[in-house]
Structure 1
Amino acid sequence: MTTSTDLTGRTAVVTGSTSGLGAGIAATMAAAGTHVVITGRTRSRGDEVVARVRSAGGRADFIRADFADPARAAADVASAATEIFGGVPDILVNNVATLVFPTPTADVTADEISDAFAVSVTAPFLLTGRLAPAMAQRGHGAIVNIGSISALFGASGSALYGATKASVHQLTKSWADEYGPSGVRVNAVAPGPIATERMVEFGDAVNPVLARVPSNRMSTIDEVADAVLFLAGPHASNIHGAILSVDGGFAAV
């Protein structure tokens, strides 16, 4: 993990950060000097991430939140984070999402659609609505949403996941227009396949995608986390509404 971005004294909330990409983003933010709040459903896993951050010299706290109940989770996280930080956070990373395995459209149930949108779209929508107005009133802030290259192209079996991430991309653009004039920058990172433990569950299903990636490999968690850090930091000071692909060139070709 390497970074030249200094965010000493800044505060950040990273949703869905007790494992995988979210935990990597939280660690990267903390290594850059940010006091980070980690959120997730399981306290033991959250405490483990907090301990790793603190053992590396960073500052971190955990807030338990189940975004399957997005309204309650958004309210709890916004309230608890504001109390921990003594004010609204400087940075919000909307990472929490439901990973939907490739499934034919006809086999997707109404409950599965509702559940996926609740976590991946409604949750970041409501949490942003809780925090962004106070950021705007203060005059500065950065929001980074985690989208996906699945929102940029059509793929059989990925209709539901792609639809949730396309919504995240559109929210990014709309929020950039809504909050940018008040000093709050809103951008998104659109990862391709990432080498996480959960990605292993897809098995050979990911091979056709990798075969089309110019870099011929998955991205690492650190590579995606560094992109988030860049968009949250001062080097991206005039970037608004961007969708930054971290995909080895897949979206380009």
Structure 2
Amino acid sequence: MVTGSTSGIGRATALRLARDGARVVVSGRDAGRGREVVQEIRDAGGSAEFVAADLRDARSAAELAAQAEAIAGLDGGSLDVLVNNAGVGAGGPTAGTEEAVFDAVMATNLKVPFYLVASIAPGMAARGRGAIVNVSTLAAARALPGLALYGAGKAAIEMLTASWAAEFGPAGVRVNAVRPGPTRTPGAEAGLGEMLQQLAAQAPLGFVADPEDVAATIAFLAGDESRFVTGAVLDVNGGRMVV
């Protein structure tokens, strides 16, 4: 299952995992876009189902997990991969940030992944296999003005990645994260505009990533080729962390 997979990095990840042979549960708030992603996967010969989900709290996370498990269980399958991608962006100075904004960002970006893992990882552990990939951000490791709230929530996800790797690893469940830099998604382009290229120019490679660049790394962490990798946070940011 890929959360927030109706656009951007999530959409690219769902398409990539389907192309690699996975049966994908696509989830998101927009049913129309969700059906489009599913149809694109099916037209390419893959298998996918859509589950509408407005992820805001523990209950919505548990409900989505139950639906995804039921879909995965059809024909004797199981939910072996969870990609925590759904997120709420927030930018601006700390002073003046409304409590409702704080709560919405932390609910979707931190609480929901926590309870999705709480609902799904035990089943993976019981089967002795599974891969969880959390989507973080460059702002979790680099102090970027105006992104204190967003970065803090994603930094917490990176800590959870390490904790979950230690907790579920002995049962065969791997937990990793990716840390994307500037990526050409609808949300990033709308929120950052020309600043997207300016941020990318600060890295050695100097260009804005496509969602498929991040999806390729997620697919690696979800697949058997990374069977000896857990607790890692892989930078997908053009080398921004080295300068």
- Kept in 2, the 8 Å contact 1:88–1:131? The answer is no
Q: Report what 1:6 is aligned to.
A: none
Which deviates more from structure 2 when the two are superposed, residues 210-219 or residues 160-169? Answer: 210-219
Unaligned runs of 5+ in 2: none
Partners in 2 of 1:199 and 1:155 — Cα distance?
Answer: 15
SS in 1 for 2:194: helix
Partners in 2 of 1:126 and 1:153 — Cα distance?
Answer: 27
Partners in 1 of 2:20 and 2:111 — Cα distance?
Answer: 29
- Kept in 1, the 8 Å contact 2:62–2:119? The answer is yes
- Kept in 2, the 8 Å contact 1:121–1:168? The answer is yes
Question: 213, 223, 227: which is aligned to 1:223?
Answer: 213
Q: Report what 1:76 is aligned to.
A: 63
Q: Report what 1:241 is aligned to.
A: 231
TM-score, with normalisation over the residues of structure 1?
A: 0.92
Partners in 2 of 1:250 and 1:230 — Cα distance?
Answer: 21
SS in 1 for 2:48: strand
CA deviation after TM superposition for structure 1 residue 205, in Å: 2.8
Q: Report what 2:55 is aligned to.
A: 67
CA deviation after TM superposition for structure 1 residue 75, in Å: 1.7
Q: Report what 1:96 is aligned to.
A: 86
The percentage of aligned residue pairs carrying the same residue is 44
In angstroms, what is the RMSD of aligned CA positions? 1.1
**Equivalences for residues 93-242 of structure 1 within 5 A:** 93-100=83-90, 102-201=91-190, 202-242=192-232
Q: Report what 1:8 is aligned to.
A: none
The question of 1:51 aligning with 2:39 is answered: yes
Partners in 1 of 2:107 and 2:29 — Cα distance?
Answer: 15
SS in 1 for 2:79: coil
Partners in 1 of 2:30 and 2:64 — Cα distance?
Answer: 14
Q: Which amino acid aligns with 2:203?
A: V
- Kept in 2, the 8 Å contact 1:194–1:218? The answer is yes
- Kept in 2, the 8 Å contact 1:194–1:221? The answer is yes
Which deviates more from structure 2 when the two are superposed, residues 151-160 or residues 24-33? Answer: 151-160
Q: Deviations over 1:91-122 (max 9, x none)?
A: 0000011011x301102111111110000000
Q: Which amino acid aligns with 2:150?
A: Y
- Kept in 1, the 8 Å contact 2:207–2:238? The answer is yes
SS in 2 for 1:186: strand
Q: Deviations over 1:73-93 (max 9, x none)?
A: 212211111111116401000
Partners in 2 of 1:157 and 1:252 — Cα distance?
Answer: 22
SS in 1 for 2:95: helix
TM-score, with normalisation over the residues of structure 2?
A: 0.95
Unaligned runs of 5+ in 1: 1-12
Partners in 2 of 1:38 and 1:61 — Cα distance?
Answer: 6
CA deviation after TM superposition for structure 1 residue 138, in Å: 0.9
CA deviation after TM superposition for structure 1 residue 191, in Å: 0.3
Partners in 2 of 1:192 and 1:60 — Cα distance?
Answer: 28
CA deviation after TM superposition for structure 1 residue 207, in Å: 4.2
